[in-house]
Every structure is written in structure tokens, then in C-alpha cells.
Amino acid sequence: MFLNQFLFLAAALFCIGIYGVLVRKNGVLVLMSIELILNAVNINLVAFGAYRGDIGGQVFALFVIAVAAAEVGVGLAIVLLIYRNRRSIDVAEANLLKG
């Protein structure tokens, strides 16, 4: 067990999360992919904090968990709103506005 194994695990989770955000069309699955990214961050923070003997990393991770919950709460509310209006949570179908 080395520190780099934690970092590789986090990097893998992060890449899976990015892939999910870019490829998935279902709004809920996009939110879940974002959760994977945030969990990768938490693994990083706790691993670094433990390695350095610094409590700051674990405190930061707690804050990330709390904020992630708030983000997902708001995110699900918006996805639910979309579902009520168009009976679909496919983010690719949300194309009324053209960037």
C-alpha cells in the first residue's frame, strides 16, 4: 500500500466521472458522474491529509461532502422540474437555446 495507489484510484474515479458527464444523456446519471468526481477529490484530500499528518485535508473533505449534498439537492430539484414539463430527463433534448 503506497500513497500513490490512493492517488491512482482517485485519478481513475475522476476520469470515469468526467467520461460520464461528457457521454451520459440522462440528467440523473450526469449528476451521479459528478458525485464520482467529488468522491475522487475526497479520496485525494484524505490521503494527502493522512500522509502529511494534517487534519486540514479531512476537514476539507467533510466540507466537500456537505456541499455535494446541497448541490445534488438543487440538481435533482431542477431535473425534476424538467421532467414535469417535458416528461423526459434527457439533457441532449434540452436544446431550445442555441449557444
Q: Which residues bind another protein (CB under 8 A)?
A: 1-4, 10, 14, 17, 21, 27, 30-31, 34, 37-38, 40-41, 44-45, 47-60, 63-64, 67, 70-71, 74-75, 77-79, 81-82, 85-86, 91, 94-99
Q: How far is the CB of 17 from another protein (least distance, A)?
A: 7
Asked if 60 contacts 66 with a C-beta cutoff of 8 angstroms, the reply is no
Q: How far is the CB of 31 from another protein (least distance, A)?
A: 8
Q: How far is the CB of 9 from another protein (least distance, A)?
A: 13
Cα–Cα distance for residue pair 69/41, rounded to 1 Å: 15
Which C-beta is closer to another protein: that of 9 or that of 91? 91
Cα–Cα distance for residue pair 52/59, rounded to 1 Å: 14
**Greatest CA separation for the chain:** 51
Asked if 14 contacts 37 with a C-beta cutoff of 8 angstroms, the reply is yes
